[in-house]
Structure 1
Amino acid sequence: MGRYSDIRRGAELNAALVKLRAYEDLSRDQKQALYKTQRGSLVKVKANRVKGYVEAFGFTGRIFLPVKLLSTTQSANGTLIGTVRTAAAAEGRTNAVDFTVPSGGVLLDGLNGFKPAKLSLTERGAPVANNKSRVTDEEYQRFDNKSVSSPFGQGTDTETYAAAVADIKAQSAIESFLQTTGNRVSFTPEIL
């Protein structure tokens, strides 16, 4: 048996369960239509990407693998994209498609299953007016956040993933970005 406070919430929880089941019974098209009406005029960041290379953390030797990097010609959301691009590229952690492979380095274009390490920045946007959950119909606070990510690799042939993350976090552009309430930085390790 649960606590008395849980039992007292039975009617409220039952009403929420009824709303949840009604939402689950909707078709996929109906769910997507509800999402689009709630999403409204929010604009998704569409980053232009170009082919480039990163040096993998998990291999012995200088192995460079292909990735999609943020283009230098991006104009929309340029400040956010520029911050991510500059932070990821610092210390040679990203390489343009025409970079000079160092002596003893190998370009490995055909490796399946590789996912590079990623840096992601999320910029807190303005509060959104339509804050009702499309599932439960409850009000909650939402923001028009924008996120951009970029792959990165080793800056030197001996740099570890942890050292690269610490160096990127310590960059002045990242530190000043995080001073705004709600802005976030996150890292995803590579998968070989």
Structure 2
Amino acid sequence: MKFLPQDVRRATLDDLPQLMEMWRLEKLPVEVLKERFTEFQLVADPEGRVVGAVGMQISGVHGRLHSELFPRYEFADELRPLLWERHKKVAQNHGVVRVWTQLSAPFWQSGDFHDASGEELAILPPNFAGQPGPWTTAQLREQIAAIDSLEKELAMFREMERAKTEQIFRRARAVKITAVIGSLILLGWVGWWLVVFFLKNRGGLGQ
């Protein structure tokens, strides 16, 4: 069976019963993970059976891969790269600059990942409560670059909001001017008819 990148997707409620069963088999904290099931990216076969899944917890600009699941382990080597590429896209979309993991498979020890140095471990988020053991990490981009990118996005957002506000004010001014002109026309029309009415009545009284 061959899997493609488009076969990887985020877990949904329909997948939760299968995930919970796999968490139980792996002796993972089911009650905790079921509240965070959307952290999981997975691959299912044509019958909808989950064949591989990995979760990623996000904290600020850091992500943590956890809870690797392969009920059909023969697909593990094929699916890990696909799941990682999907998680990288998710991480980048959330502004994550570094991903951590304690997953022990060789795939998570090489490629984009390397053993975390003491300097790197100093910035490990405290809420990434892993098991005792070494960490590997993958830096997706420089944090300064990420901050610059975020600031640029915020600046673009502010500019868009400013343009929208100016457009609203322009429309409001146009509506106000139109209303004033309409009122003046109406007043002129009413005044003209009052003059005509007055002149007609005065002529009638003179007779």
Query: What TM-score, normalized by structure 1, do the two folds share?
Result: 0.29
Higher helix share: 2
Query: What TM-score, normalized by structure 2, do the two folds share?
Result: 0.27
Structure ID, larger Rg: 2
